[in-house]
């Protein structure tokens, strides 16, 4: 069985990454794109963890900080 590690990287837009990281820090690690501060919205959020686990998913997380490719 191939247990290949998912290919997850930061967004290529360095300014956007810096802005999101600053907003994450200001919110104690919770997604700046979501209002409630719940465990499922703690970065890396539950939604993106599930997308990472999906071998057919390729794309950005909700706030555009991370990108997962199938390669």
In the predicted structure, residue 3 carries a pLDDT above the cut 70: no
Instruction: Specify the pLDDT at position 67.
Output: 98
Instruction: Specify the pLDDT at position 70.
Output: 84
Write out the two tokens for 54.
């999906």
Alpha-carbon distance of 42 to 51, in angstroms, equals: 15
The pTM (predicted TM-score) of the whole model is 0.86
Domain ranges of the chain: 12-69
Residue 64 near residue 11 (C-beta atoms within 8 A): yes
* Residue 9, helix vs strand vs coil: strand
- Euclidean distance between the first and the last CA atom of the chain, given in angstroms as a whole number: 17
């Amino acid at each position: 069985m191939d247990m290949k590690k998912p290919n997850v990287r930061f967004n290529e837009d360095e300014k956007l990454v810096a802005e999101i990281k600053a907003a994450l820090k200001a919110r104690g690690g919770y997604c700046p794109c979501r209002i409630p501060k719940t465990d499922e919205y703690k970065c890396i959020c539950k939604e993106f963890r599930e997308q990472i686990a999906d071998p057919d998913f390729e794309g950005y997380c909700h706030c555009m900080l991370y990108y997962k490719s199938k390669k």
